[in-house]
Each structure stands twice: as structure tokens, then as C-alpha cells.
Amino acid sequence: MKISTKIKKLQLLHPFKIARRTTDSYREVITVEIDGGIGETSPAKFYGETVQTVEKVINELSGSLDVDLDAIQDVMSKIEQDLPDNYAAKSVIDMALHDRFGKKMGAPLYKLWGLNPKKTPNTSYTIGLDEPNIMVEKVYAAEEYPILKVKLGNQDDFDILTNIRRITNKPIYVDVNTAWSPQEAVEKIKKLSDFGVELVEQPTTAEDIDGLKYIRDNSKLPIIADESVKRAEDIPKIADAVDGINIKLVKCGGLLEAIRMIHVARVHGLLVMIGCMIESSIGITAAAHLTPLVDYADLDGNLLIKNDPYKGVTLQNGKLILPNCPGIGVAPVDV
């Protein structure tokens, strides 16, 4: 299996800040091509990967697999044996293989999976953590998007929400990125419903499952796990502690694993969100093909950059519109 890779810098519209870190001007992603199929991943140091580690792993794999590329499950099972971790690296291979197969079959991924493209949800649009007045400016700039995902996790949390509510009544999802203690979360969530907040994502640390359960048991708002759940095997351990999970291709290892996660989550009666990192339209469009199966979409990574090199999924009043093209359905932007 011959694989080619390319590292790209995606330029941010604004510095992107969450409770634990700030990305100032650009995000590095890595694209992969396998026999005409394209994939992308945006690895996160939080999960122990960078574009350099991904590139190294993929170069080591290149030429080492003598398997039928159409049998994606077999390919990924073999890679899983060789690479028990390295989920971002696995996700980009999985994505490129799906794109290749869809192109070979002449059908978009959602058709191969038998999904209805009319059932895609609206995506939220992320307002990165910043000074309250700057976050208000970002809300004004996001006028065309019907749902806001607001990053919180500092001493200005309620000033931020108060200022945002002065200018819009849009639904708000709150993402805390592990910043609150369980006790702090319970107290703050009591007030969040007054601001029209509809759900809270990852209020406390990833490892504190008991803390998440304490928060959920004392919260009227749905609690969605992100950093606490990476793959399907994590779901039974957390199912009694949260109301839902956020699936990201980068952290779970690709589309095959994301589908497993959706099914396992449903067995446990959990809500499902499909999320993203800062990515181009390659990664965002691939994930969007799964959205007819989920409750929430947070697929705005391509909307947060200046130099998206591809076009794919589009929005109509915030609703995800899947491309009716083979495979993932992306094409290079004319320059």
C-alpha cells in the first residue's frame, strides 16, 4: 500500500482559545492520498499526537500491507494490531480508504451506508474563549449560524453569557474543556439554564468519571462527554455518568470506529454529537456523512480558517448539505 503525505498550515480567522490552551495563528494538519483516495487528520497534543508523529507512523506503514484495499475493515484491523494507539494516524488512513472506495463505487459515503442526506442536523458555530467584549464581536460575525457553541472555563463565564444574551437569543451549547471542578460545575450549571443554554460539554477533567456522574445527577441540562470518551470501548464505562458523547474522527481512529461508537452509544441510550478539530473541508465533510445518524453536529472547523484548500459540505441556514459526489465528495478550491 503506497501512501503519500503532505503537511499543511491552516490559517485561523481569529486566535482560537479554549480553557487549557490557545492556538494563535494556524493549525497544522496532514493529508494522505492512497490510490486516489484522500484523507486528513488534525492531531492534538492532548491525545499525544502531532503531524510529525502521524507522518512518521504512516511512512513506516507505507508499502508494508499486502491486502485488498477494498476490504477496509481488514486493512484497519491489521493496522490496529500494529498500532494500538496513534488514533489520528489511523483516522486519516481510514478516511482515505473510504474516499477511494466511494470513488470506485461511484457513490458518496452516505449512500454506501444507506443514510438519508435530508436528515442532517444544523451545525453549531464555535465562539472561542476570549475577553467578553471580543467574544461578543465574534457572535456578531457569526450572525448566519443558528446555533452557538460557546467556550467557557474562566472567571468571566457569566459576563460572557450575559453579554452574548444581550445581542442574540440563539440556542447555546457550552463547552468547558475540562476546566471546572465537579462542585463548581453543579453551581454554574444551575445558572446556565437562565441563559438558554441547551447542553454542557465536558465540564470536568477527562479521568474524573465519578465527578461527571455527580454533575449529571445534579444537573437539569444534558452533560456531553468529549475528552472522557475516545473509542467504543470507553462508552460502557461512562454511560451512567453522562447523557451523551462527542465523537471525533481524530480521537477515535476513523469512520469505522465512529460508526461503532454511534451504535454502542445508542444501545446505552446516549445522545450523540459529531465534533471536530480545526480542519479543512476534507475532514469536516467526511464526518458530515455520518450526521444523519446523530443528534448534534459541531462541524465548523473549516469555517474557522482563511485558507481552506478544498470544498465539500456546505451549509443552508446552518443545515449541513452533503455533496452528491463519489467518496467524501471534496474537490480542490480553484486558485
pLDDT one-digit tens code per residue, 100-147: 999 999 999 999 999 999 999 999 999 999 888 999 999 999 999 999
pLDDT at 213 (0 to 100) = 98
C-alpha–C-alpha distance, residues 103 and 326, integer Å: 5
Yes or no: say if 261 and 286 are a contact pair by the CB < 8 Å rule.
Answer: no
pLDDT at 334 (0 to 100) = 76
pLDDT at 1 (0 to 100) = 65
- Categorize the per-residue pLDDT at 21 as very low, low, confident or very high, splitting at 50, 70 and 90: low
| Residue 213 CA, distance from chain mean position | 23
C-alpha–C-alpha distance, residues 124 and 146, integer Å: 7
More confidently predicted of 20 and 135: 135
Burial of 45 (0-12, 13-18, 19+ CB in 10 A): exposed
C-alpha–C-alpha distance, residues 162 and 30, integer Å: 39
Q: Does the pLDDT value for residue 86 go beyond 70?
A: yes
E strand or H helix at 142:
none
C-alpha–C-alpha distance, residues 41 and 26, integer Å: 15
Q: Does the pLDDT value for residue 35 go beyond 60?
A: yes
252-295: pLDDT as tens digits: 999 999 999 999 999 999 999 999 999 999 999 999 999 999 99
Of the listed ranges 12-16, 92-96, 322-326, the one predicted with least confidence: 12-16
pLDDT at 64 (0 to 100) = 64
Q: What percent of the chain has pLDDT over 90?
A: 85
E strand or H helix at 158:
helix 157-165
pLDDT at 225 (0 to 100) = 98
Burial of 295 (0-12, 13-18, 19+ CB in 10 A): middle
Name the average pLDDT for the chain: 94
More confidently predicted of 78 and 180: 180
- Categorize the per-residue pLDDT at 66 as very low, low, confident or very high, splitting at 50, 70 and 90: low
For the segment 303-319, the average pLDDT, to the nearest whole number, is 97
Torsion of CA 13, 42, 329, 57, to 10 degrees: 150
Q: Does the pLDDT value for residue 167 go beyond 70?
A: yes
Yes or no: say if 254 and 93 are a contact pair by the CB < 8 Å rule.
Answer: yes
CB atoms within 10 A of CB 137: 13
Q: Does the pLDDT value for residue 335 go beyond 80?
A: no
pLDDT at 124 (0 to 100) = 98
Q: Does the pLDDT value for residue 20 go beyond 90?
A: no
pLDDT at 280 (0 to 100) = 98
Integer CA distances (angstroms), 149 to 48, 173, 176, 231, in order: 25, 5, 10, 23
pTM of the model: 0.95
